[in-house]
Amino acid sequence: MAGKRSIAILTGGGDCPGINAVIRALTKKAILKYGMEVIGIQDGFDGLIRDRHRKLAYSDVSGILTMGGTILGTSNISNPYRWAEPKGKEIVFRDVSRTVLANLRALKVEGLVCVGGDGTLAIAGRLMKDGARIVGVPKTIDNDLCGTDVTFGFDSAVAVATDAVDRVHSTAQSHHRIMIVEVMGRRAGWIALYAGVAGGGDIILIPEIPYSIEAIAAKVNDRKKRGKRFSIIVIAEGAKLVGGEIVVKRLVEKSFEPVRLGGVGFVLGEQIERATGVETRTVVLGHLQRGGSPTAHDRILATQLGAEAVDLIVRKEFGRMVAVRGGSMTSVSLETAAGGPRLVPLDHHLVAAARALGTSFGDEIS
């Protein structure tokens, strides 16, 4: 690599439709426009810790635009500042950031592109302060990163969730049931809001608006009075009762974000059955929302973000994340990006539109 300009890229956190489109755009632009070599770090920060990487040739990224996942692999538990190692029956945490910085220096790259959400970008920000040259690319299906109007992966997740809501309508109507569709969104309800509106959900429950069983039961009973013997509820995994707590599925001690949510739909289903007497079923979409081919929107957005990241490195604008603001490409500081979450505003135009159409958010008894 002596004498040859080069950049590196890693993908951290959960997988997400569109990551490969970013890798493709970055690699092709770096090679074709700047004559650079591109080094792919394997399995996120785990690859920097263990010094595992490979050169990405033009042929390596041809044909990956439509592929889900990431050809480089990823990890959502490898934090260089809190590296988990087994010691007997216990887990010991160590700071191995100096190893990461040394391995990065040995690659002699002009900069590192970190593709990820707030966890990945928070780590990237710390490494930047410790001497690394880093540029971020926003990636999360939750659409909750600060500093950008939208993240790639969100549109694909909404498409999957909307399709699921469409499909449960027929069984709900046939059996006169309440069907609950639980979607991702631990802190922000963007997926539930957009999929709920797009799918015609009768009740949409998001973390930003605590709900009451009384309000939900009132909505269900009101629909029954009007001859609607079924109801569709779309709920984000982080939604909670007024004065209640989020439903935690399990804890992953080694992870940057140890709390794993899931199951609020089942809890809600039991509560609704007791309150209304209406048979209720729950569908948890889980990782289905993160898998599969990205939508056309996400392919285009990811391509733009990946291409812009190369330019940031060439211009030596480190410590920045590529962002979309007002429909245009720009950049914000990594500190801004990791300062989330970006929540759904209570006065958001889509919330207002849904309420005007009779959709309940579980907070008002009509």
Report d(CA 122, CA 138) in Å as an integer. 12
Report d(CA 79, CA 97) in Å as an integer. 9
Give yes or no: 166 in active site: no
Alpha helices in the chain (DSSP H): 19-34, 45-50, 97-107, 118-129, 154-175, 190-198, 213-225, 264-276, 296-314, 334-337, 349-356
**Dihedral class, residue 43 (left if φ above 0, else alpha if ψ from -120 to 50, else beta):** left
CB 323 within 8 A of CB 147: yes
Instruction: Compute φ and ψ for 245, nearest 5 degrees.
Output: -115, 160
Angle between helices 349-356 and 190-198 (to 10 degrees): 40
Which of these is catalytic: 142, 144, 155, 202?
142
Instruction: Compute φ and ψ for 164, nearest 5 degrees.
Output: -65, -45
CA-nearest of 158, 154, 125, 159 to 139 is: 154
Report d(CA 325, CA 19) in Å as an integer. 20
CB 339 within 8 A of CB 329: no
Report d(CA 46, CA 122) in Å as an integer. 15
Instruction: Tell me the catalytic residues.
Output: 142
